[in-house]
Structure 1
């Protein structure tokens, strides 16, 4: 397993991050525990979750599954860098979601109980809360850190402007600020290259791409066409919209002799600021297959070919101005 520093911190995390969103809705608890055990066997130490995962309001199903796995002992918690998120509504009352100081305090304590741990390694805002000033956000996070309940703070789905504003507010408070940002980023979705990635590079923030395969569209979808036709309508729509690119992409992967999913992940590992793409295996077999991506090396010619198929962005403003 390869490891990297998370942003500008001294924290070492695996170059692939185990996403747990399927634990509960798609994967049984027994199989989820098997996947996490196998992740440790493979050297993955970076796991990502969220209080809303499980998709039953207020239940925290996925965090509970992870917590019961931690409770088995055997060094499971000690060997895991656990990242979780807050923002989504966990109840029906006005302050049961978002990023107010009140909800940050309550949400952190609830996640700690479900995860059966005394601290969260990376506590992430799942989305920007435009109604909560960053002064309030940072004060609440500072208190959690002073109490030993969290170690680092990250963000998810922030724009470049939000990252800059968050960091400058943290700097005025002599606080470390954000150490990571989760963004939807893949060969088909390259908007983060405009402003998010430049902001991450400038502030020393590790980028953690989610949906690295664009919901499966970059995972060899044409070879699974029958299953795709019976899948969610949005995936079918995206396939038809991008069919020419996907055809060229899968043909190029054949030239390389590599699986499309491995090439898509390997491409991300070559991108600036990227620490670890989030993978979301539903089975141990899927996890084992994904590890191959770490061995795929793309030379300049291959990277240029991928840019030709999936044109990217220059950093703003040069992408749209002189």
Structure 2
């Protein structure tokens, strides 16, 4: 396993990170323990979760909330391997039906962090990520809350997720004014079928030295190639079927190229992400040990200039603003 810095920080993370959204939902505790054991054995040190993972992510349904963190906490206690991983989780999503049980007020950030620590059975979170932008709360208030959590030793670094380029810029300039490190990472949807963030978000991340953590590297299974019975369940979802129909021609060309390269479409899709300089680690949301090991293998694949050029032809990016649409 290779390791790289998370953005401009001194923290080293594995190029493949373990996503735990399925824990407690599609994957039970016993299987989750096996996946985490396999992750450690394969050199993965970045474990990513969120307070809301483990059940239906809906403000009207409270069941399952926190289950992913609880499973990780049980594993950490039983395995004794807390100091071997970089533990990341998130705050923002509704964790109850009260008006302050969500978003990024200082009130909610403090309470949500303490609740995550209890579920994770640890005294600190290594990377505490804002799960979505909250434009109703000023960054002065958000950074005040995060600074206090850092001072209390409850978190070490702060990351964002699903931010626009101008959100990142606003956050960082406010942090700099407060003499605070600010963001070290941004977790965003990024894959061959969806390269929208190349227009403005990635240039902003590069400017501020913030590492990108792509989620959805396989576009919900669209880039996974021919499914086995287990994977086929997810690909039957209406939104995935629409994408498969929309990209049918490109997928045919893509899968022929993957055959020529001697790697599966899922492996090539993840390898392509790891060839992007801004990417620190990618989220492998494994439901089985086999899925995880396929992602680990993707980290060993080198794509030459010809392969990268063909992938750009099949899945063109939007270009960088403003040159992409102006002189």
Q: Tell me the TM-score range normalised by the shorter chain.
A: over 0.9
Report the Cα offset of residue 320 of structure 1. 1.6
Please list, as runs of the form range in 1=range in 2, the aligned pairs for 1:1-322 lying within 5 A after superposition. Answer: 1-55=1-55, 57=62, 59-74=65-80, 76-221=81-226, 227=232, 231-322=236-327
Report which stretch shifted further, 217-226 or 256-265.
217-226
Q: RMSD value over aligned CA atoms?
A: 1.6
SS at match of 1:124: strand
Structure 1 residue 55, shift from structure 2 partner:
2.0
| 1:228 Cα offset (Å) | 6.2
SS of the residue 2:187 aligns to: strand
CA distance in 2, matches of 1:221, 1:110: 41
Structure 2 spans left out of the alignment, 5+ residues = 57-61
Shift, 1:272, TM fit: 2.3
Check conservation: 2:221, 2:234, Cα contact below 8 A.
no
Give the Cα separation in 1 of the matches to 2:13 and 2:230: 35
- Contact kept in structure 2, 1:229 and 1:236, CA below 8 Å: no
Could you tell me which runs of 5 or more consecutive residues in structure 1 were left unpaired when the two chains were aligned: none
What's the TM-score once normalised by structure 2's chain length?
0.95
Closer, same or farther in 2 for the Cα pair 1:288/1:202, shift >3 Å? same
Partner SS, residue 140 of structure 1:
helix
Q: CA deviation at 1:226?
A: 10
**What is the SS of the residue equivalent to 2:299?**
helix
- 295-304 or 50-59: which moved more? 50-59
State how far apart, in whole Å, the 1-side matches of 2:228 and 2:75 are. 35
Alignment-derived partner of residue 59 in structure 2: none
**How has the CA–CA distance of structure 1 residues 169 and 294 changed in structure 2, closer, same or farther, with 3 Å as cutoff?**
same
The structural deviation recorded for 1:292 is 1.2
Secondary structure at the counterpart of residue 255 of structure 1: helix
Deviates more, 1:240-249 or 1:281-290: 281-290
> CA 1:223–1:84 in structure 2 vs 1: closer, same or farther (change >3 Å)?
closer
Distance 1:295 1:172 in 2: 41
Give SS of 1:155's match: strand
TM-score normalised per structure 1: 0.97
Residues 226, 69 of structure 1: alpha-carbon distance in 2 compared, 3 angstrom cutoff: closer
- The answer to whether the Cα contact below 8 Å between 1:228 and 1:236 also exists between their aligned partners in 2 is no
Distance 2:154 2:181 in 1: 16
1:188-228 per-residue CA deviation (whole Å, 9 max, x = no partner) reads 10011001111111101010000000001111147879936
Offset at residue 230 of structure 1 (A): 7.1
